[in-house]
Structure 1
Amino acid sequence: CKSKIDFMESLGTMVSLFSQKVKEKTELIRELSLKHGLEFQRESVYRSVRSMVEGELKAGQVNFSYRTDSGCRTLLRLHRSLLWLKMMLEGLSKGPDSEGRYKTTGVFCSRDAYKVALAPHHPWMLRQAAEIVFLALPDREYFLQLVCVKKQEEATPVLRIIIQALSVVHTRTQRILKKYDMLELP
């Protein structure tokens, strides 16, 4: 998660809201791990995603009707952010359209990735703010520099490796959250 935060922070101050939320959610899971590990005076159930989900369900920490400060609910929010990042990088890895133009960072971030991964779960006001944030993102060349390349042709293989790693984590987490009907926790 640290590298995801570092990457998001490198996008500049306009995306700092997202990276700050990721930091807060990661810290909440750490705090829950410490609190519940000490409460029950045994090994923490937060040693893996599956053990956290099963442990919180058993302890009654997850509620399917209203918001609770559970690791499962927090993980779901991080899971959605991971999907956004993965989709954004997929957009960045694509070549030019039929007219030889590349999508702008605002297009592949806001209109594509954000609308699919995060917007359905955000209130109207936050969706509007996100649109403004994504319009102010740096250009494609800046993003290419973040993955240590100078040309799109060099970026695609690097981005595919990153995307594959993110996909593995997303797929495994998705499977666990779906198994326990946690994809729509309030």
Structure 2
Amino acid sequence: RPRKRQCVVISVVLCLLLFVSSLWLPQEVFLSCDQSWRPCLSVYAATREIVHDVTPAPGGDVIRECAGQKFQVSRLLHRLNSALGPASDVLLEPYLLCWEELIKFMESLGPLVGFFTHKVEEKIILLRHLSQEEAAKHRSVPHQPTHNPQSAGPHPAYHSVRSMLEAELQRGVVSFDSQTASGSRTLLRLHRSLLWLQLLLEKLGAEPEGRSMGELCREAYLQVLAPHHPWLLQRAAELVFRAMPERTVFLQLVCVRRQEEAEPVINIIVTAIREIHRRTERELNIRNMLELP
């Protein structure tokens, strides 16, 4: 009876968290499952067969393509490299495409991780909406020659991280005292989440195999995201970590069989993510935007 009561309490709490957070559980992540609602990792059995198509990576390493899964390391790496703009800038749309690949990675870890991906998707939609609004304004105004780089092109303000932060700062869109639906504040939230994923990958590459993915994910979360989340959100995250799969699922995702094979692949991804994060951090920092409410 106590066991049954505990299960009921956990179920009620989980339902409440799903309601409060508007949690969306992905329905089309694992196309090979017979029932779309059932959490299913059986699709990964196919990835034990390593496909021989490979993608060269910096340093002479090779990234394998894995059959039967939506997430591909090579595609993520391509997106990350494409987001690197001139003069240490970060191109905004390629940056959002990076996040779409990272969402595939997170969804592949199980349906409950949709708790995180749903929030990321909301931010991607908001940033694209702002960019489209800006483009529409420029299309409605007759083109006039200008020497202002912030006014050149179809959607200059949201072309890159630097141009967006600077434009919103000049327009008074950013508030340092209250929450606003600005692109700058939204980017900051994505920026923190990117660091969380970076730390998780670093831990997966460096920590011994005895430690579970849930443990490593929790550690990275406590370091980066938990200080910015309310208590209720932290409790919901704890449930997600407990439901995370074994590390073997991660090995299959990056198309390797053993931990030592995963390390060079992880290092390549982490290096690319770290550069994106470093550039974004610099742009936010020089404008004092790292602690926007």
The two structures have a TM-score, normalised by structure 1, of 0.93
Q: Look up the equivalent residue of 1:53 and give its one-letter code.
A: L
Residue in structure 2 matched with residue 27 of structure 1 by the alignment: 125
Residue in structure 1 matched with residue 205 of structure 2 by the alignment: 93
Bigger helix fraction: 1
Q: Is 2:175 aligned against 1:63?
A: yes
**Equivalents in 1 of 2:291, 2:236: separation in Å?**
23
- CA offsets 1:98-126 (integer angstroms, 9 cap, x no match): xxx5211111101x100011101000110
1:2-21 matches, within 5 Å, as 2-21=100-119
Q: Is 2:223 aligned against 1:116?
A: yes
**Equivalents in 2 of 1:125, 1:138: separation in Å?**
23
**Equivalents in 1 of 2:184, 2:255: separation in Å?**
35
Residue in structure 2 matched with residue 163 of structure 1 by the alignment: 270
SS state of the match for residue 103, structure 1?
coil
**Equivalents in 2 of 1:169, 1:135: separation in Å?**
30
- CA offsets 1:122-146 (integer angstroms, 9 cap, x no match): 0011011111110110001011111
Q: Which has the larger radius of gyration?
A: 2
**Equivalents in 2 of 1:56, 1:20: separation in Å?**
25
Residue in structure 1 matched with residue 249 of structure 2 by the alignment: 142
How many residues align? The count is 181
TM-aligned CA deviation for residue 95 of structure 1: 4.3
Q: Look up the equivalent residue of 1:183 and give its one-letter code.
A: L
Q: Look up the equivalent residue of 1:145 and give its one-letter code.
A: Q
Q: Is 2:231 aligned against 1:131?
A: no
Q: Look up the equivalent residue of 1:10 and give its one-letter code.
A: S
**Equivalents in 1 of 2:284, 2:107: separation in Å?**
27
In structure 1, list runs of 5 or more residues that go unmatched.
none
The two structures have a TM-score, normalised by structure 2, of 0.60
- Of all paired residues, the percent bearing the same amino acid is 52
**Equivalents in 2 of 1:29, 1:7: separation in Å?**
21
Two-structure CA RMSD over aligned residues (Å): 1.2
Residue in structure 2 matched with residue 52 of structure 1 by the alignment: 164
TM-aligned CA deviation for residue 86 of structure 1: 0.6
Consecutive aligned runs of 4 or more in structure 1 exceeding 6 Å deviation = none
**Equivalents in 1 of 2:220, 2:171: separation in Å?**
35
In structure 2, list runs of 5 or more residues that go unmatched.
1-98, 142-150
Q: Look up the equivalent residue of 2:241 and give its one-letter code.
A: F
Correspondent of 2:215 among 107, 127, 130 = 107
* C-alpha contact 1:95 1:152 (8 A) present in aligned 2: no
